[in-house]
């Protein structure tokens, strides 16, 4: 058994720009494109470039390539960023930068580009000043016509998702406003709905005493926690990829893809035990949202189904089974060399619910990744993209009652903050205060309930 104390070397702040593919969920820009013709000549390609969000020292961009020339079996796009910007992460392509020249190449699943076809890719970058207008777009060495929108439209506020600040290079999201595909019918007992733009200290949903009845000793610290999060998160009400949102979109279920960042072999038995452990541990947070066999405070699900739909590995030979019970992504590596699940199947990339490019369509999509990294040690990362923990810690603890590091990271998936620099009044150890508890406590339970209380109006409750 591993020592119970969690040493969180990976510090976290909710909703901030995050390194490489971990998470940066931004609202899409809607501004019109500014035509930019390549040398005034007719070309066989067009590039639409949009800045989809900005923050103090960074920005996110979306790039769509349209091919009107001959079919391509592989592609490489180059362009210039002359304002000192640096690409820090990218998805749906292999991104590099040399000086001012940015290069993005196809990856294994999107190399084919038919005549009349399009492909989309994107990135997150850093900057020290204003975002410049890029130029000199070339596809496989030939100049392209281009349309550029380098200024996000009004209301295109940035809401990067939450995770540890040193969190993994995993999966940035497609720049799209999430669409809720499974909004439950509004309850007739809902007492109020949120205002369009509540203040940081405002409560989004008013509930009666019968619906909201925490122990009297927790009322003050719960209020302190919410006020602290509301004042430090850039857009706590507007962000729409919390774990709550994922479950609601799936009508009461969560799909996982396991990123096996390890060379240790995986038998079918180990595969199945990891899935059952996920179901049990994730279920502990779901139990916190229920009372007397039903959802608390209008939470609509007494039980949430959890299943593993895919595995990502560096080498297929690592997986010691031949059945087709899950999708397998072999050799699909991120920029850090870690295996990743196919972005076309990930909610993190497709919060609009469009899984049309996923080989198995929506049925095979995944909402979160369980990133098991060999040699990571005692630390972790968590956010709307999923959770990352040490592979050996997780597999060695499959028979334990509580996997406390994993449980802590799932708390981040549901929006809960860390407590590195302060502690609410009158409460002691709890799982979200890393290292102070090894299981979900009463205070953790009421914190996640309180988060649901403040955002449930988006679903008509």
Q: What is the pLDDT of residues 55-98, one digit of tens each?
A: 767 787 889 999 999 999 999 999 998 778 888 777 778 888 99
pLDDT of the residue at 56: 67
Average pLDDT of 147-170? 43
Residue 64 in tokens:
């769509």
> Taking a C-beta distance cutoff of 8 angstroms, is the pair 24, 383 a contact?
no
Q: Average of pLDDT values for 285-313?
A: 96
Beta bridge partners of 64: 48, 120
Look at residue 110 in the predicted model and tell me its pLDDT: 81
Q: Helices marked H in 169-325 — which ranges?
A: 216-232, 243-249, 268-288
DSSP for 126-172? E-SSSPPPPEEEEETTEE-EEEEE-SPPTT--B----EETT--S--P
Report whether pLDDT(108) > 90.
no
pLDDT mean over 368-391: 93
At residue 379, the pLDDT reads 82
What is the predicted pLDDT for the residue at 124?
Answer: 77
pTM for this structure? 0.62
Q: Residue 271 corresponds to which tokens in the numbers above?
A: 């595969």
Quote the percentage of the chain above a pLDDT of 90.
Answer: 55
**pLDDT per residue over 209-224, tens digit each?**
448 999 999 999 999 9
Place of tokens 């899950």: 326
Min mean pLDDT across 5-14, 122-131, 264-273 is at: 5-14
Q: How much is the average pLDDT of 93-105?
A: 90
> Judging by DSSP bridges, how do beta strands 94-98 and 86-91 pair with one another?
unpaired
Which of 152-156, 200-204, 397-401, 412-416 is predicted least confidently?
Answer: 200-204
What is the tens place of the pLDDT at every residue in 250-273?
Answer: 999 999 999 999 999 999 999 999
When the pLDDT of each residue in the chain is averaged and rounded to a whole number, the result is 79
Q: Dump pLDDT digits (tens) for 312-362.
A: 999 999 999 999 899 999 998 887 889 999 888 999 988 888 888 888 788
pLDDT band at 191 (very low <50, low <70, confident <90, very high): very low
Burial bucket for residue 317 (CB in 10 Å: 0-12, 13-18, 19+): exposed
Q: What angle do CA 227, 229, 233 make, to 5 degrees?
A: 130
Residue 400 CB-half CA count within 13 A? 17
284-295: pLDDT as tens digits: 999 999 999 999
pLDDT value at residue 332: 87
- Residue 243 CB-density burial (10 A; 0-12 exposed, 13-18 middle, 19+ buried): buried
Distances (CA, A) of 181 to 175, 224, 247, 414: 17, 33, 11, 19
Is residue 395 within a helix (H) or strand (E), and if so which, with residue range?
helix 391-396
d(CA 21, CA 334): 8
Where on the phi/psi map is residue 56: left (φ > 0), alpha (ψ -120 to 50), or beta?
alpha
């Amino acid at each position: 058994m591993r020592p119970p104390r969690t040493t969180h070397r990976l510090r976290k702040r909710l909703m901030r720009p995050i390194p490489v593919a971990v998470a940066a969920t931004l609202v899409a820009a809607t501004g019109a494109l500014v035509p930019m013709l390549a040398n005034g000549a007719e070309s066989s390609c067009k590039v639409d470039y949009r800045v989809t969000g900005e923050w103090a020292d960074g920005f996110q961009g979306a790039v769509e390539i349209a091919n009107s020339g001959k079919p391509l079996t592989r592609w490489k796009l180059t362009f210039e960023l002359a304002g000192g910007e640096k690409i820090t992460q990218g998805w749906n392509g292999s991104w590099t930068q040399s000086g001012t020249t940015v290069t993005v190449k196809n990856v294994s699943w999107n190399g084919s580009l038919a005549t009349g076809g399009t492909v989309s890719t994107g990135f997150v970058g850093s900057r020290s000043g204003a975002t410049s207008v890029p130029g000199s777009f070339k596809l496989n060495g030939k100049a392209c016509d281009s349309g550029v929108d380098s200024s996000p439209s009004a209301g295109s506020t940035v809401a990067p998702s939450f995770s540890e600040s040193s969190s993994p290079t995993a999966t940035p999201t497609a720049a799209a406003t999430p669409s809720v595909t499974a909004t439950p019918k509004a309850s007739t007992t809902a007492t109020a709905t949120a205002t369009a733009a509540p203040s940081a200290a405002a409560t989004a949903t008013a509930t009666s005493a019968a619906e909201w009845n925490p122990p009297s000793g927790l009322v003050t610290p719960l209020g302190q926690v919410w006020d602290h999060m509301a004042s430090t998160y850039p857009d706590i009400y507007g962000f729409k990829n919390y774990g709550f949102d994922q479950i609601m979109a799936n009508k009461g279920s969560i799909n996982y893809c396991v990123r096996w960042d390890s060379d240790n072999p995986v038998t079918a038995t180990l595969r199945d035990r990891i899935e059952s452990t996920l179901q049990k541990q994730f279920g502990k947070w779901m139990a916190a949202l229920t009372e007397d066999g039903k959802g608390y405070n209008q939470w609509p699900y007494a039980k949430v189904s959890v299943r593993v739909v895919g595995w990502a590995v560096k080498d297929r030979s690592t997986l010691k089974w031949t059945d087709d019970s899950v999708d397998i992504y072999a050799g699909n590596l991120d920029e850090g060399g870690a295996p990743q699940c196919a972005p076309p199947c990930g909610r993190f990339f497709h919060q609009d619910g469009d899984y049309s490019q996923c080989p198995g369509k929506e049925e095979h999509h995944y909402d979160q990744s369980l990133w098991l990294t060999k040699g990571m040690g005692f630390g972790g990362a968590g956010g709307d993209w999923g959770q990352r923990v040490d592979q050996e810690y997780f597999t060695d603890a499959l028979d334990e009652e509580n996997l406390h590091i994993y449980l802590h990271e799932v708390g981040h998936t549901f929006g809960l903050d860390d407590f590195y620099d302060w502690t609410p009044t009158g409460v002691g150890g709890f799982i979200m205060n890393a290292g102070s508890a090894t299981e979900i406590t009463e205070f953790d339970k009421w914190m996640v309930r309180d988060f649901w209380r403040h955002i449930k109006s988006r679903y008509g409750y």
